Amino acid sequence: MSEECIGKPCAVCKTIIQGANYYCQKCKACVCFYCGADMLKEVDTSYLKCPRCGAKLT
């Protein structure tokens, strides 16, 4: 989670992030908690990849 993402649009659904989120330190992309949870259901890894650059989200 990053405080930097609060008030910014989600890279996936474009809604404004108001709380918990995932953050890419490489390209500064923000993903909302809900999109991140959906992405976790679809992957075989224990971490999420950035939808923009493929780096690990924190």
Q: What is the pLDDT of residue 40?
A: 86
Q: What is the pTM of this model?
A: 0.88
Structural domain containing residue 31: 1-58
Q: What is the pLDDT of residue 9?
A: 98
Read out DSSP for 2-52? -GGGTTSBPTTT-PBP-S-EEE-TTT--EEEHHHHHHHHHH-SSSSPBPTT
Does the pLDDT value for residue 43 go beyond 80? no
**What's the pLDDT band for 44 if we cut at 50, 70, 90?**
confident
CATH number, domain containing residue 11: 3.30.40
Residue 50 CA: distances (Å) to CA of 15, 23: 17, 8
Quick one: what percent of the chain has pLDDT higher than 70?
A: 100
For the chain, the domain total comes to 1
